[in-house]
Amino acid sequence: MAKPVLAIVGRPNVGKSTLFNKLIGERRAIVEDIPGITRDRIYGETEWNGRRMIVIDTGGIEPKTDDIILAKMREQAQIAIDTADVILFICDIRTGLTADDRDIAVMLRKSGKPVIPCINKSDSVGRVAPEFYEFYELGFDQEPIPLSSVHGTGTGDILDAAIALLPPEADAEEEDDVISVAVIGKPNAGKSSLVNRILGDDRMIVSNIPGTTRDAIDSRFENEFGKYTFIDTAGIRRQSKVEDRVEKYSVLRAKMAVERADVCILVIDANEGITEQDEKIAGIAHEAGKATIIAVNKWDLIEKDNDTTNSFTKKVYNALGYMTYAPILFISAMTGQRVGKLFEQINYVHNQTNTRISTGMLNDVLADAVSRVQPPSDKGRRLKIYYMTQVSVAPPTFVIFANSVELFHFSYQRYIENCLRNTFGFRGTPIRIIVRQRGDEKSDS
């Protein structure tokens, strides 16, 4: 049985994201005192009295607006409402009951879902402000609950009320075989369009306005290839272009999304080619040790000849010299061209980054490599390599014991890495090599 879903809805700037962060116990939603910060649905999990629940944070609902982004936010909130088992309707006691609150209440009543009115910014301890009682006019079956999302007071009462409205819990096995996939890239490269194409609905807000997606958003998906969580991230801009605090948060969220992913899909705009910003974003995934697939998007818009694919591939690998291990797939999120092939690649690179090699096999390859290319020397002292062992996966990490760290030049490390790749594959994943120094007295062993 799937986990029940709580959707947090309300007009802008009433404290929805602050409550979301409080419930899931981490700062996943951007919180800033500016209306319209949270634009898409953001998912997290919470547990209360042994019951695990999915929590959805939504963008503020503007019931009557012609603004394209605000209208999209309203659509996203409606999808969250349709998905939810229980709706947490957040109002602000400081502004009182507004016309927009009343319009949203009508929208929620039409959904037929159980609604808990949560009256936020009720910070008075031990008493209820007189303004609180006007929210009974909303007319929901559940009585309003005073809340301070900043301090966390009232959250227990809200969760108790939510659980009381949920159907009895059935036994469900935890899903440990889900692959987390972060979709990364510069703004407007087509990341949200790609996720929408995969999911088959308008999961993310998609527009041609760079920076539309500000948060990292998780979407669960299952097909014949397996189970996945897709993380659509805010486009990462050049640091010099990161002007306001919200934009800085978005860059941080994208980096955090990479950290919690198993696999990254780097989306590149085929029209613009590989850019300096693409190189920097690829570097984030590489430094984090994440298996990566390079998806060249908008390939349907490119005029092609017999050498177009090969030429573009060379340009990408020339620019990303440290990431030649990453497979390249030429796709179109708009038409769906080759998008389905991403799943095979995701599974493949995920298996590659989790590959373990026995110490015996590693040292056979190491001995062959040393016999083919003699280790470097300096001032009459030669590098001696004793043995190698794998210490971890994701990424595959190897420790090599040698007589000198200084003599183990980067170029020779790269040579050993290439020998490992030629023998064992490791396609799509970085490899880490750690050199440990051991005394010369062991050199003959």
Angle, CA of 289, 290 and 294, to the nearest 5° = 130
Do the Cβ atoms of 413 and 431 come closer than 8 Å?
no
By C-alpha distance, which of 290, 432, 428 is closest to 349?
428
Structure confidence at residue 229 (pLDDT): 86
How far apart, in Å, are the Cα atoms of 200 and each of 20, 204, 445? 26, 11, 60
By C-alpha distance, which of 441, 362, 44 is closest to 217?
44
Contacts of 154 (CB under 8 A, 6+ apart): 118, 122, 145, 146, 147, 148
Query: Mean pLDDT highest for which of 164-168, 240-244, 285-289?
Result: 285-289
The amino acid at residue 305 is D
Span 77-116, pLDDT tens digits: 676 677 788 999 999 999 999 988 998 898 888 888 999 9
Structure confidence at residue 34 (pLDDT): 42
Pairing of the two strands 86-92 and 115-120: parallel
Largest Cα–Cα distance in the chain? 89
Span 174-213, pLDDT tens digits: 455 889 999 998 888 888 899 889 888 555 444 554 444 4
For residue 235 the two structure tokens come to: 């486009």
- End-to-end, the C-alpha distance of the chain in Å comes to 58
Given a cut of 50, whether residue 141 has pLDDT beyond it is yes
Contacts of 219 (CB under 8 A, 6+ apart): 43, 195, 199, 203, 229, 230, 231, 232
**Is 0.85 topped by the overall pTM?**
no
Given a cut of 50, whether residue 26 has pLDDT beyond it is yes
For residue 193 the two structure tokens come to: 């369009």
Do the Cβ atoms of 182 and 291 come closer than 8 Å?
no
pLDDT bin (cut points 50, 70, 90) of residue 443 is very low
Given a cut of 60, whether residue 215 has pLDDT beyond it is no
Structure confidence at residue 162 (pLDDT): 94
CA dihedral 91, 110, 218, 205 (to 10 degrees): -90
Among left, alpha and beta (phi > 0; psi -120 to 50; other), residue 119 is: beta
Query: 3-state SS of the chain: helix, strand, coil percent to 5?
Result: 35, 20, 40
Whole-number average pLDDT of the chain = 82
**Start-end of H helices in 145-238:** 155-165, 191-199
Given a cut of 70, whether residue 332 has pLDDT beyond it is yes
pLDDT bin (cut points 50, 70, 90) of residue 395 is very high
For residue 239 the two structure tokens come to: 């640091």
Please tell me which residue, 33 or 119, carries the higher pLDDT value. Answer: 119
Q: Compute the distance between CA of residue 9 and CA of residue 55 in angstroms, rounded to an integer.
A: 11
Which range has the worst mean pLDDT, 181-185, 347-351, 381-385, 437-441?
437-441
Contacts of 200 (CB under 8 A, 6+ apart): none
The 8-class DSSP code of residue 237 comes to P
The 8-class DSSP code of residue 239 comes to G
Given a cut of 80, whether residue 59 has pLDDT beyond it is no
By C-alpha distance, which of 287, 192, 280 is closest to 231?
192
Q: Compute the distance between CA of residue 163 and CA of residue 159 in angstroms, rounded to an integer.
A: 6
pLDDT bin (cut points 50, 70, 90) of residue 30 is very low
For residue 380 the two structure tokens come to: 């009459």
Q: In what order do the strands lie in the sheet with 86-92?
A: 42-48, 51-57, 5-9, 86-92, 115-120, 145-146
Angle, CA of 354, 185 and 192, to the nearest 5° = 100
By C-alpha distance, which of 186, 159, 6, 157 is closest to 81?
6
Structure confidence at residue 254 (pLDDT): 66
Structure confidence at residue 243 (pLDDT): 52
Among left, alpha and beta (phi > 0; psi -120 to 50; other), residue 15 is: left
Q: In Å, how far from its chain's centre is CA 348?
A: 19
Peptide bond between residue 187 and the one before it cis (omega within 30 degrees of 0): no
Do the Cβ atoms of 23 and 57 come closer than 8 Å?
no
Given a cut of 70, whether residue 216 has pLDDT beyond it is no
Structure confidence at residue 297 (pLDDT): 96
